[in-house]
Structure 1
Amino acid sequence: MAIDYRFKVRWGDTDPAMIVFFPNFYRWMDEATHEFFEAIGYPTLELMETEQVGVPLLESKCQFRTPLRFDDEVVVKTEVADLQNRIFKLSHRFYRGETFIAEGYTLRAWTSFAGETPKAVPIPDSIREKLAAHLEGVESI
């Protein structure tokens, strides 16, 4: 089950031809990740302040199908593509209305910032359950 992140393309997101400059897709995937965690009940700021946990980026990729332009209304649909002990992958699919624009992923590590050096740690069971409920291809009951 996907979590939707909606936004409108702004003038500063585009090049002189009013087409979105590609690095913005990576920024939006990051924003969609934070919106995803807030939607499942674990806002990023709260995780950092109360648990000293973050989800730093390990890898990211995006494939572009058709351009976005200034003033387009966009939906990024985010789902869990893979869930391991300490690492998870989120898929992000971009749409303008029914038009499929791009797809990408972000690979992240569940990381404790409690010590001197950040360290990947196991994802707690309570959060793992919430992530598993959003695995690609899993329909809610």
Structure 2
Amino acid sequence: MVEYSFKVRWGDTDAAGIVFYPNFYKWMDEATHEFLASIGLPSSTLYSEQQVSVPLLEAHCQFKSPLFFEDAVMVRSSVVEMQRKVFKISHKFFKDEKIVAEGYEIRAWTSFKDKPKACPIPEEVREKMMPANAEKVMN
């Protein structure tokens, strides 16, 4: 599990001062890139050295409690499912240790050497991504 922390900015809120919902998707994307960097695979290096990226296939977020300007937020992210070419990463949003939202992204390990094409996730990457306590591993 990787933790990513940030503070809600004024531009993240709507006229009522509540976080505008698309920002949760932006933060899940940021948390995924933080996760990859934490396991030694920064997205910029992955692309520049291997022409590999992890485009988004699906995203979902369930909101439990609102966030407001200047709230301190922590996102806990972990890979919970892995297929041959695709993985599912879970994101849980916390404010003061209380969960305020949770969601997931499904992403494909994709080569951009020619035209974009999903390819098998290398075994050494799978070992770094998939925690021992994962919910499900699919082959």
Same fold (TM over 0.5): yes
SS at match of 2:126: helix
Residue in structure 1 matching 2:131, options 133, 137, 141: 133
* Equivalent in the alignment of 1:102: 101
Counterpart residue type for residue 128 of structure 1 = R
Structure 1 gaps of 5+ residues are: none
Give the Å deviation of 1:136: 3.4
Q: Write the distance in 2 (CA, Å) between the matches of 1:135 and 1:34.
A: 21
3-state SS of paired residue (1:79): strand
Which residue of 1 is the match for residue 118 of structure 2? 120
Which residue of the partner structure matches residue 77 of structure 2?
78
- Check 1:25–1:134 CA distance in 2 against 1; reply closer, same or farther (3 A cut): farther
SS in 2 for 1:6: strand
Shift of 1:99: 1.2
- Who is 2:23 aligned against? 24
Report if aligned partners of 2:53, 2:111 keep a CA contact under 8 Å in 1. Answer: yes
Shift of 1:48: 0.2
Q: Give 1:133 deviation, angstroms.
A: 2.7
Deviation digits for residues 86-119 of structure 1 (CA, Å, limit 9, x no counterpart)? 000000000001111000000000000001x100
Partner amino acid, structure 1, of 2:124: S
TM-score, normalising length: structure 2? 0.94
Task: Figure out how many residues of one structure are paired with residues of the other and give that number.
Answer: 136
Contact in 1 for aligned 2:80/2:130 (Cα 8 Å): no
User: Secondary structure of 2:124's partner?
Assistant: helix
The Cα RMSD (Å) is 1.4
Instruction: Give the Cα–Cα distance (whole angstroms) in 2 for the partners of residues 20 and 34 of structure 1.
Output: 21
Question: TM-score if structure 1 supplies the norm length?
Answer: 0.93
Say if 1:76 and 1:21 are closer, same or farther in 2 by CA, change over 3 A: same
**One-letter amino acid of the structure 2 residue matched with residue 42 of structure 1:** L
Name structure 2 gaps, 5 residues minimum.
none
Look up the SS of the partner of 1:18 in the other structure.
coil
In structure 1, what is the equivalent of residue 40 of structure 2? 41
Q: Name the residue aligned to 2:9.
A: 10
Question: Identity over the aligned pairs, expressed in percent?
Answer: 55
Flag the 1:78–1:13 CA change in 2: closer, same or farther, 3 A: same
Q: Deviating runs (4+, > 2 A) in structure 1?
A: 133-137
